[in-house]
């Protein structure tokens, strides 16, 4: 009998300790609002990743990109690819990569294609210009430059024109970076 009381006492003590620990934690998420409140904590973080400031756009790289875009715009205007009142930044706003935009500009210029149609096919983004007469790729995904050229002008050598446009775009970007 004495052993049984001892076992009951140990079980009672163990359960009261574990209940006390659970009660100290409170209901799920009780401390989350206080932890998220920045006024209750000092201004620093205990997360070492946050100690290093990540500056994604430094002024040097922005200036370099602006200078590169100016050089590229001037070069494309001299080649007749862009008109005097347009620039690369405006024309290439919906493109993810500048190189693919410049290639599309070269392809549209050399083949006499509507750039807005080509742009909407390659990027998958409808432009504000009237593209109702354009042959569009299905879905929201953009097509390759070669496929876009073929859709708009089926009788053209789409593969050769795309390769040539990409080659010229690479050269233009290299010259603008120098």
**Tens digits of per-residue pLDDT, 36-60?**
554 445 556 677 777 776 655 444 4
122 near 128, Cβ under 8 Å?
Answer: no
pLDDT at 72 (0 to 100): 92
* pLDDT beyond 60 at 175: yes
Write down the pTM of the prediction. Answer: 0.62
Neighbour tally for 99: CB within 10 Å: 15
**In the predicted model, what is the mean pLDDT of the chain?**
77
pLDDT (0 to 100) of residue 141:
77
- The one-character DSSP state at 44 is S
* Residue spans per domain, the chain: 64-177
What band does 160 get if pLDDT is binned at 50, 70 and 90? very high
CA atoms of 170 and 178, how far apart (whole Å):
13
pLDDT at 63 over 70: no
Question: Residue 66: its pLDDT value, please?
Answer: 83
Predicted pLDDT of residue 103: 94
């Amino acid at each position: 009998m004495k052993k049984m009381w001892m076992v009951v006492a140990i079980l009672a003590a163990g359960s009261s300790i574990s209940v006390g620990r659970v009660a100290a934690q409170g209901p799920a998420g009780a401390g989350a609002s206080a932890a998220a409140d920045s006024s209750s904590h000092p201004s620093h973080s205990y997360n070492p990743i946050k100690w290093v400031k990540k500056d994604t756009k430094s002024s040097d790289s922005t200036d370099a990109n602006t200078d590169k875009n100016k050089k590229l715009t001037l070069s494309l205007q001299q080649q007749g690819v862009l008109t005097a009142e347009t620039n690369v930044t405006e024309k290439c706003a919906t493109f993810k990569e500048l190189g693919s935009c410049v290639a599309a500009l070269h392809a549209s210029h050399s083949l006499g294609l509507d750039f807005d149609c080509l742009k909407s096919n390659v990027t998958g983004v409808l432009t504000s210009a009237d593209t109702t007469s354009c042959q569009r790729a299905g879905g929201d995904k953009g097509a390759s430059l070669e496929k876009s050229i073929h859709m708009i002008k089926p009788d053209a050598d789409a593969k050769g024109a795309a390769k040539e446009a990409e080659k010229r775009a690479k050269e233009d970007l290299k010259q603008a970076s120098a």
